[in-house]
Amino acid sequence: MYITDAHKTFISFFIFGILNNILYVIILSAAIDLVGSSTPKAIVLLADVLPSFLFKFISPFIIHLISYKNRLYSLVGLSTIGMLIISLSSINMIWLKILGIMLASLSSGMGEVSFLQLTHYYSINGNSINGWSSGTGAAGLLGSFLFMLMTNLIGIPVWIVLLIFAIMPSGFLIVYYYLLPKQNQEYHEIDDNNFIIEGDQEEEINDEIDNSLENKVSIEKINQHLSNTFKKIQPLIIPFMIPLTTVYISEYVINQGISPTLLYPLDDLPHWLFSSYRDIYVVYGFLYQLGVFISRSSITFGLRIKKLYLLSILQFINVVITIIQSVYDKPFTKIWFLLILILYEGLLGGFSYVNTFMSVSEEVPKSKREFSMGAVSISDGLGIVLAGCINWWLETKLCGLQVDRGRDWCLNGGSV
């Protein structure tokens, strides 16, 4: 069978998505092994999220000054060094492990911005965004499965597993140079080398080059650059960024703040699937990742959702339902209906992600599309960080309410 450029584009961005997100999943899966049972796992979550978010936040102002090749080598170096530090440092050196996690997180943020922007050069056949979105969804399932397989079933020491995953970022270079269609690749490499930027970015970058030639640092020019960048972000906020941010706030409030308290008596559950309260949380996580993978791959089947705010509303309804369930143990007296809700929650999250970036590629003028893809990527990181701040209080509050009712399961391993 002849593999067309369209197939190569989809496969390339699918692999990019897996490689960019799988280390994030592996690190969260290994949280208790990395910092021990006595250290709050929120430290790992924040170290795994904040550097990525901060890079996304500043990227609209600086990312155009870094060529795609330099970004590629940087993210490979950061993620590889980060995983080596994580795997080879002692558990007593938590600060060093946190540093490694932060380096890997920074690499993930740079990768998401860069590959979403790179889809601009491969938008003709429409397979780039679809491949990327599907790959990032697959990373959740593949990462959690591989970690469980290698540590729980095969019995490989965790540090060796992490060391093995340190090799994976080299796959970026293999895919970029040997699989990604060369014709499209030449276009963005020309832009990188000669600063041939379309639209209103061209004048902005030319000004910066002129300033550097004159060896002058002008506060006015910097302020003008910041002002111009904010003006370009502003039209993206209401139609794209707010819906995606609110969906992520809702789903991460459910995943990290509410679901650890959605517990049932173990005697009422099948023991082949649930042998401890922790297992309930693990099953929730798997079903969520399954829903995300299915929905992030939905463009392949021609399914498009253009009413992005509808997804925000539906996901917030899930927050209300799960809070009621946690506080009153209703409306779901059996866990099976709740498992379906968690799968549905993952579907909404994946639909929001892929349809947001598809809408950007369809609705934003071509001259502003590359910048817009990177800028909108701020939204998911912002949603996760805000949800983390909410969960710092919410999970403790919900668990306390359950303890007051004599249900102290959330204190006995229900949360990881």
Last residue of a domain, one of 174, 197, 220: 197
Mean of pLDDT values over 187-209: 51
Q: What is the pLDDT of residue 72?
A: 94
Band (199; pLDDT cuts 50, 70, 90): very low
339 and 236 co-located in one domain: yes
Domain for residue 206, yes or no?
no
User: Which DSSP symbol is given to 149?
Assistant: I
Q: Are residues 192 and 236 in the same domain?
A: no
Tell me whether residue 225 is in a domain: no
Same-domain status, 186 and 244: no
Inform me whether the pLDDT recorded for 198 exceeds 60: no
* Residue 2 placed within a domain: no
pLDDT value for 196: 40
Of 197, 221, 244, at which residue does a domain stop? 197
Same domain for 177 and 260? no
| Residue 96, domain member (yes or no) | yes
Q: Average pLDDT for residues 323-338, to the nearest whole number?
A: 92
> What pLDDT does 215 receive?
46
- The CATH number of whichever domain residue 38 belongs to comes to 1.20.1250.20
pTM of the predicted model, to two decimals? Answer: 0.81
Query: How high is the pLDDT of residue 205?
Result: 43
Distance of CA 34 to the CA centre of its chain: 20
Higher-confidence residue of 49 and 195: namely: 49
Name the pLDDT band for 125 (thresholds 50, 70, 90). Answer: low
pLDDT band at 106 (very low <50, low <70, confident <90, very high): very high
Q: Does 11 share its domain with 122?
A: yes
Amino acid (one-letter) located at 135: G
What the block records as the tokens of 252 is 């991460």
Let me know whether 318 and 192 are in one domain. Answer: no
Calpha distance 323→4 (Å, rounded)? 49
Instruction: Give the Cα separation of 281 and 399 in Å (integer).
Output: 14
| Structural domain for 248, as ranges | 231-416
Q: Which among 176, 197, 218 is the end of a domain?
A: 197
Closest CA to 65 of 230, 189, 198, 208: 208
Q: Which residues contact 68 (CB under 8 A, 6 or more apart)?
A: 114, 118, 188, 189, 192
The reply to whether 159 and 81 lie within a common domain is yes
Q: What does the pLDDT read at residue 317?
A: 98
Please tell me the total count of domains within the chain. 2
pLDDT at 40: 57
**Span 185-189, average pLDDT:** 64
Residue 327 and residue 375 share a domain: yes
Does residue 409 carry a pLDDT above 70? yes
The CATH number covering residue 251 comes to 1.20.1250
Mean pLDDT of 111-118: 93
Q: Are residues 74 and 174 in the same domain?
A: yes
The residue that leads in pLDDT, 311 or 330, is: 311
pLDDT on residue 192: 62
Q: What's the average model confidence in pLDDT over 2-28?
A: 89
208 part of a folded domain: no
Q: What is the arithmetic mean of pLDDT over 228-242?
A: 94
Shared domain check, 333 and 273: yes
Percent of the chain with pLDDT over 70: 86
Rounded-to-integer distance, Cα 391 and Cα 314, Å? 20
Does 216 fall in a domain?
no
Sorting pLDDT into bands at 50, 70 and 90, what band is 289? confident
- pLDDT, residue 183, reads 64
* Nearest in space to 188 (alpha carbons), one of 172, 203, 176: 176
Residue 395 has pLDDT above 50, yes or no: yes
Same structural domain, 137 and 255: no
Read off the pLDDT of each residue in 68-96 and give the average, rounded to a whole number. Answer: 90
CA dihedral 372, 357, 176, 161 (to 10 degrees): 120
* 68 has a pLDDT exceeding 70: yes
Q: State how far the Cα of 23 lies from the Cα of 79, in Å rounded to an integer.
A: 8
- 241 and 97 fall within a common domain: no
More confident residue, 281 or 308: 308
Residue 211 lies in a domain: no
Domain contains 1: no
DSSP letter for each residue of 162-230:
HHHHTTTTHHHHHHHHHTS-HHHHHHHHHHHHH----TTHHHHHHHHHHHHHTT---HHHHHHHHHHHH
